[in-house]
């Protein structure tokens, strides 16, 4: 034991030292990766803001819109309608753009509002833009909506005021909904375990990855915004929750903060192979020391093991263990003997019951026989039946009887039965343990049972009597009538087997052997069993309980053996799905016999139904998990392929589906669910974004070359798509960019 402790302590010391050394390396790597993502996010956000600024510039310089701006006349005309349609189309194509305003000399002239502002906010916006300069655009603004709610938006405007003394002649203003824009900016990190956010200069969260309700620690945000450093990293421990690794930077030209938050535990998880190798060597050393300690312990305690070995002589098999003793073998032998004692106890109870059932009646004995003498006649002419009563606790009730109280009430049952039958029977009882009673009910005189329907009413009254006991419910199996005393044991087995049907009958406390004999002995058909498997495969979560109930209702029409076999097959298939995630085509499990015995051991309907529902939900969750992983992997692979090969003119849905070994319709659905766009629209989106970058980054390229590098074989088709998406031709887009940057 001492050697084992020393080796374990050595492993802990070495592992701790290596952990702290590699932790610093790993955190530096995570910080660099997060800082790179923040810089990329800053760049993407800047591009979005540039695109909005370009829209305002284009609208401001549109002659018809400018005329409305200067004159304030918004009378309808074909030219004005065409110009204003461009504004409306821009708001439709770009869902993160909400409102557009044409500001005249004295106030707003025309507006397009998807999320209307209050009258006071519109006037405040006009005054701020009238007094603002071009360099002040864009700016953050907390506006009041028509419904009174407050909302922070990014306002972008163009008013041609370069200097403070420049003349104000009108302006175009467009508002950006940051809650909608964050879905575009953080689309590539939605499934990451790292969260990202964009903060205002005051520390308010403007945009973030993940659910909007998943907020950040206020103390953390105040510390970042109020600090002296424009970038950095730190380990933050909130009041509640685990440690977080924080990386932040400030965009000087925007005045915004960019923040990443990663689980500290996940950050230090990925250490190098050298650390794993050294720890493995330490583990081997510890294992060797533990082996030596075990050997010493074995030699030291061998005499005690030999002493325990003599326990084997109790079973009469052999005097000592084959391995010359040992604690493990002694423990196994003790467990075997304990199990044997349990079996002997059950055999003793069964033997006592069998002796009682087969002992002929002799008066004056301490343990009388099961069949009493017929009053005034030969006991061989009396009809009798056997009833087996099993007591169960009612679910959800705290009040329950002790074993002694149950046994006392059970012993009073024979007198209660005779009273219920109003003297038409004689009853003897045997009580193997507090949960079971065996009742032998025979005619008090020949023919006294009379109508069987009356006898059934008496058994129902007995069940109601037992149900009135505190926290107890009874399950009763009743055999058929017989006048042959030699069949007493057979009738007992018949009544006992009736209890097996309780698990297939919803709230049926009594089962009669006469009714059970009428049940079908044929195997249950496969189409009946398929109901549960079908709803699991089709991922219909809400239909699982109903499907299980229907299968159990069908099983109630078959003999217990056939019903148990059928349900074992269902359980085997569900277990296979839960283990492997395969929805069909797999062989039956090797544990079929174990499942059969498990179902056979269930006592009641609720217990069996709950077990089958649990198996069904486990299989459902496994299939759901597998389908989600497959869907995510396929969709991600398809999107990555499109982004890598968008310039290939031969890129098509069918070719990509063949490459991924799935059907084109299924691939199209996956892309639509992941991107919100169809396959052609998403491909064009990627191509046009690339073309837009080429137009402003490589001014020496002509339009035909830009089209070819973006995957379009025709410059005319490229121009049509570009104008449809961005509201202007590629040439005009490039000129606007040149004019804006030259100013």
In this structure, the strands spanning 171-176 and 97-103 are antiparallel
Helix (H), strand (E) at residue 516 = helix 513-516
Q: Higher model confidence: residue 375 or residue 149?
A: 149
User: How high is the pLDDT of residue 367?
Assistant: 41
Nearest to 67 by CA among 53, 52, 84, 54: 84
Return all residues near 1 (Cβ < 8 A) that are at least 6 apart. 293, 297
Residue 138 preceded by cis peptide, ω within 30: yes
Q: Could you tell me the two tokens for 338?
A: 């304990």
314, pLDDT greater than 80:
no
Summarised one tens digit per residue, pLDDT across range 204-239 is 888 888 766 577 888 888 888 888 888 888 888 887
- Gap between the Cα atoms of 679 and 671, Å rounded: 6
- Asked if residues 102 and 67 have their Cβ atoms less than 8 Å apart, the reply is no
Nearest to 157 by CA among 146, 168, 145: 168
323, pLDDT greater than 60:
no
- Gap between the Cα atoms of 604 and 657, Å rounded: 51
92, pLDDT greater than 70:
yes
- Mean predicted confidence (pLDDT) in 555-569: 90
The total number of residues written for the chain in this structure:
743
**How many C-beta atoms lie closer than 10 Å to residue 226's C-beta?**
9
What is the DSSP code (8-state) at residue 145?
A: B
User: How high is the pLDDT of residue 558?
Assistant: 92
- The CA radius of gyration of the chain, in Å to the nearest whole number, is 42
Nearest to 483 by CA among 491, 475, 493: 491
CA–CA distance from 394 to each of 397, 398, 468, 506, 556 (Å)?
Answer: 6, 9, 11, 15, 22
Summarised one tens digit per residue, pLDDT across range 119-142 is 899 899 999 988 888 888 898 899
Three-state DSSP state, 261: strand
- Gap between the Cα atoms of 82 and 724, Å rounded: 14
User: How high is the pLDDT of residue 373?
Assistant: 53
Helix (H), strand (E) at residue 143 = strand 139-144
Split at pLDDT 50, 70, 90, the class of 364 is: very low
User: How high is the pLDDT of residue 319?
Assistant: 43
Three-state DSSP state, 269: coil
Three-state DSSP state, 478: strand
Determine the angle formed by the axes of helices 2-60 and 730-742, rounding to 10 degrees.
100
How remote is the C-alpha of 346 from its chain's centroid?
Answer: 44
154, β-bridge pairs: 140, 176
Split at pLDDT 50, 70, 90, the class of 400 is: confident
**How many C-beta atoms lie closer than 10 Å to residue 701's C-beta?**
15
451, pLDDT greater than 90:
no
User: How high is the pLDDT of residue 502?
Assistant: 86
- Gap between the Cα atoms of 569 and 256, Å rounded: 62
Nearest to 659 by CA among 648, 670, 651: 651
Put the strands of the sheet holding 97-103 in their side by side order. Answer: 108-113, 97-103, 171-176, 150-158, 139-144
Residue 289 preceded by cis peptide, ω within 30: no
Confidence (pTM): 0.42
| Mean of the per-residue pLDDT values of the chain | 79
Split at pLDDT 50, 70, 90, the class of 360 is: low
HSE-up (13 A, CA, CB side) for residue 721: 22
What is the DSSP code (8-state) at residue 587?
A: P
- Gap between the Cα atoms of 538 and 399, Å rounded: 43
Q: Could you tell me the two tokens for 517?
A: 């004999």
Return all residues near 33 (Cβ < 8 A) that are at least 6 apart. none
Q: Could you tell me the two tokens for 674?
A: 């992941």
Nearest to 230 by CA among 29, 42, 28: 42
Residue-wise DSSP of 58-126: HHHT-HHHHHHHHH------HHHHHHHHHHHHHHHH-TTEEEEEEE-SSSEEEEEESSPBPHHHHHHHH
114 Rama class: left (phi>0) / alpha (psi -120 to 50) / beta: alpha
Nearest to 264 by CA among 283, 238, 287: 238
**How many C-beta atoms lie closer than 10 Å to residue 396's C-beta?**
6
Return all residues near 675 (Cβ < 8 A) that are at least 6 apart. 639, 682
Three-state DSSP state, 228: coil
365, pLDDT greater than 50:
no
**Percent of the chain at pLDDT exceeding 70:** 77
- Mean predicted confidence (pLDDT) in 398-407: 82
Q: At which residue do the structure tokens 């533990």 appear? A: 290
313, pLDDT greater than 50:
no
CA–CA distance from 640 to each of 188, 633, 663 (Å)?
Answer: 11, 11, 18
375, pLDDT greater than 70:
no
482, β-bridge pairs: 384
Summarised one tens digit per residue, pLDDT across range 593-618 is 888 888 988 888 888 999 999 999 98
Please, what sign has the CA dihedral across residues 574, 575, 581, 582? negative
Three-state DSSP state, 191: coil
What counts of helices (H) and strands (E) characterise the chain? 26, 15
Q: Could you tell me the two tokens for 274?
A: 């050298």
- Gap between the Cα atoms of 438 and 427, Å rounded: 10
Split at pLDDT 50, 70, 90, the class of 442 is: confident
User: How high is the pLDDT of residue 363?
Assistant: 45
Q: Could you tell me the two tokens for 211?
A: 């659910």
**Percent of the chain at pLDDT exceeding 90:** 12
What is the DSSP code (8-state) at residue 482?
A: B
- Gap between the Cα atoms of 603 and 527, Å rounded: 26
Nearest to 552 by CA among 509, 506, 583: 506
Q: Could you tell me the two tokens for 244?
A: 């977080």
Among 133-142, 182-191, 508-517, 531-540, the least confident range: 182-191
User: How high is the pLDDT of residue 77?
Assistant: 72
**How many C-beta atoms lie closer than 10 Å to residue 258's C-beta?**
25
Split at pLDDT 50, 70, 90, the class of 174 is: very high
User: How high is the pLDDT of residue 100?
Assistant: 92
Backbone angles phi, psi at 395, to 5 degrees: -70, 135
- Gap between the Cα atoms of 466 and 680, Å rounded: 72
318, pLDDT greater than 50:
no
- Asked if residues 671 and 635 have their Cβ atoms less than 8 Å apart, the reply is yes
Helix (H), strand (E) at residue 510 = strand 510-512
Return all residues near 44 (Cβ < 8 A) that are at least 6 apart. 185
Instruction: Give the dihedral of Cα atoms 273, 278, 281, 285; nearest 10 deg.
Output: -150
Determine the angle formed by the axes of helices 78-93 and 2-60, rounding to 10 degrees.
180
């Amino acid at each position: 034991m001492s050697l084992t402790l020393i080796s374990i302590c050595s492993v802990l010391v070495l592992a701790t030292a290596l952990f702290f050394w590699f932790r610093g390396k790993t955190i530096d790597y995570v910080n660099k990766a997060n800082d790179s993502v923040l810089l990329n996010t800053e760049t993407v956000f800047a591009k979005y803001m540039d695109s909005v600024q370009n829209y305002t510039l284009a609208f401001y310089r549109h002659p018809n819109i400018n005329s409305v701006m200067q004159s304030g006349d918004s009378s309808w005309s074909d030219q004005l309608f065409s110009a204003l349609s461009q504004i409306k189309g821009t708001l439709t194509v770009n869902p993160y753009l909400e409102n557009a305003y044409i500001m005249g000399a004295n106030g707003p002239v025309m507006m397009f509002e998807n999320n209307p502002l209050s009258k006071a906010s519109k006037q405040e916006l006009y005054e701020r833009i009238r007094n603002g300069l071009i360099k002040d655009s864009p700016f953050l603004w907390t506006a009041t909506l028509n419904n009174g709610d407050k909302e922070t938006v990014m306002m972008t405007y163009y008013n041609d005021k370069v200097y403070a003394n420049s003349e104000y002649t009108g302006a175009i203003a467009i508002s950006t909904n940051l809650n909608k824009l964050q879905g575009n900016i953080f689309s590539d990190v939605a499934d990451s375990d790292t969260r990202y956010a964009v903060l205002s200069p005051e520390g308010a969260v403007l945009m973030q990855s993940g659910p909007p309700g998943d907020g950040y620690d206020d103390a953390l945000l105040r510390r970042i915004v109020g600090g002296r450093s424009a970038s950095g990293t730190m380990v933050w421990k909130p009041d509640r929750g685990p440690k977080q690794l924080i990386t932040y930077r400030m965009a000087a030209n925007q005045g915004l903060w960019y923040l990443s938050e990663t689980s500290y535990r996940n950050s230090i998880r990925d250490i190098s192979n050298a650390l794993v190798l050294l720890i493995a060597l330490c583990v081997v050393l510890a294992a060797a020391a533990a082996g030596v300690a075990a050997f010493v312990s074995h030699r030291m305690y061998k005499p005690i093991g030999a002493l325990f070995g003599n326990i084997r002589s109790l079973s009469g098999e052999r005097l000592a263990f084959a391995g010359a003793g040992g604690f493990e073998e002694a423990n196994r032998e003790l467990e075997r003997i304990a199990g044997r004692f349990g079996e002997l106890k059950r055999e003793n109870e069964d033997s006592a019951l069998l002796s009682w059932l087969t002992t002929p009646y002799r008066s004056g004995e301490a343990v009388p026989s099961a069949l009493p003498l017929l009053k005034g006649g030969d006991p061989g002419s009396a009809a009798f039946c056997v009833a087996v009563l099993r007591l169960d606790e009612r679910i959800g009730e705290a009040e329950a009887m002790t074993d002694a109280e149950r046994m006392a009430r059970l012993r009073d049952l024979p007198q209660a039965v005779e009273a219920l039958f109003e003297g038409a029977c004689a009853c003897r009882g045997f009580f193997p343990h507090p949960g079971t009673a065996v009742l032998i009910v025979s005619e008090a005189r020949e023919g006294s049972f009379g109508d069987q329907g009356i006898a059934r009413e008496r058994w129902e009254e007995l069940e109601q009597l037992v149900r009135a006991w505190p926290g107890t419910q009874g399950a009763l199996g009743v055999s058929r009538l017989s006048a042959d005393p030699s069949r007493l044991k057979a009738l007992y087995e018949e009544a006992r087997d009736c209890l097996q049907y309780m698990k297939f009958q919803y709230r049926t406390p009594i089962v009669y052997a006469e009714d059970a004999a009428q049940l079908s002995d044929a195997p249950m058909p496969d189409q009946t069993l398929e109901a549960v498997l079908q709803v699991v495969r089709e991922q219909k979560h809400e239909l699982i309980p109903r499907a299980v109930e229907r299968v159990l209702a069908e099983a109630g029409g078959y003999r217990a053996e056939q019903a148990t076999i059928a349900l074992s097959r269902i359980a085997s298939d569900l277990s296979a799905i839960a283990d492997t995630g395969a929805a069909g085509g797999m062989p039956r499990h090797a544990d079929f016999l174990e499942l059969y015995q498990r179902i056979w051991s269930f006592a009641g309907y609720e217990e069996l139904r709950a077990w089958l529902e649990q198996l069904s939900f486990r299989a459902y969750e496994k299939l759901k998990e597998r389908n989600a992983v497959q869907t995510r992997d396929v969709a991600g692979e398809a999107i990555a392929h499109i982004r890598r090969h968008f310039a290939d003119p031969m890129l098509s849905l069918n070719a990509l589906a063949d490459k991924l070994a799935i059907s084109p319709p299924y691939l199209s659905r996956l892309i639509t669910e992941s991107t919100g766009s169809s396959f052609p629209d998403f491909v064009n989106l990627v191509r046009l974004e690339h073309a837009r970058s080429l137009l402003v980054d490589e001014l020496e390229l002509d339009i035909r070359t830009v089209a070819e590098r973006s995957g379009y074989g025709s410059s005319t088709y490229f121009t049509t798509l570009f104008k449809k998406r961005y509201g202007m031709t590629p040439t005009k887009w490039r000129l606007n960019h040149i004019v804006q940057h030259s100013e």
